[in-house]
């Protein structure tokens, strides 16, 4: 007879059991940054539509995107974009079954966190 023990199996430990660590935090941040980028994308597309529509439409969209709140969203999106990009590179590396040991994974985690901050500052300086 196949498995008769239905619904009464041991559960693997989940969020409430594990202490937050670099791997789990950088992992969920990848998801959060990727999905939060929707807001920046909508703002940027609005800016493009406005520029393609008329000078007055552009003035409205441009004033929103360059306001302090717009600047804040763009700055946050910039960091999110770099973070998500570096985290994506990490996944491309891991997909090859490389650097999965604890030490390497820890190094990659810090590389993603520090790299995203450095790239964000560099971008702001260049632009």
Contacts of 57 (CB under 8 A, 6+ apart): 49, 50, 51
| Rounded Cα gap, residues 91 and 86, in angstroms | 9
Among 25, 39, 59, 121, the residue binding other proteins under the rule CB under 8 A is 59
Among 58, 75, 79, 94, the residue binding other proteins under the rule CB under 8 A is 58
27: number of CA atoms within 13 Å, CB side? 9
Among 38, 69, 72, 121, the residue binding other proteins under the rule CB under 8 A is 38
Which residues sit at the interface with other proteins, rule CB under 8 A?
A: 2-3, 31, 34-35, 37-38, 41-42, 44-45, 47-49, 51-52, 55, 58-59, 62, 65-66, 74, 78, 81, 85, 88-89, 91-92, 95, 123, 126-127
């Amino acid at each position: 007879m196949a498995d008769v023990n239905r619904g009464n199996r041991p559960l693997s430990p989940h969020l409430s059991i594990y202490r937050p660590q670099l791997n789990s935090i950088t992992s969920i941040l990848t998801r959060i940054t990727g999905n939060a980028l929707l807001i920046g994308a909508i703002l940027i597309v609005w800016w493009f539509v406005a520029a393609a529509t008329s000078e007055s439409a552009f003035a409205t969209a441009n004033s929103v995107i360059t306001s302090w709140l717009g600047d804040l969203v763009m700055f946050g999106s910039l960091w999110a974009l770099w973070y998500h990009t570096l985290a994506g590179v990490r996944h491309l590396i891991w997909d090859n079954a490389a650097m999965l040991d604890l030490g390497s994974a820890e190094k990659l985690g810090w590389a993603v966190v520090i790299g995203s901050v450095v790239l964000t500052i560099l971008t702001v300086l260049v632009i």
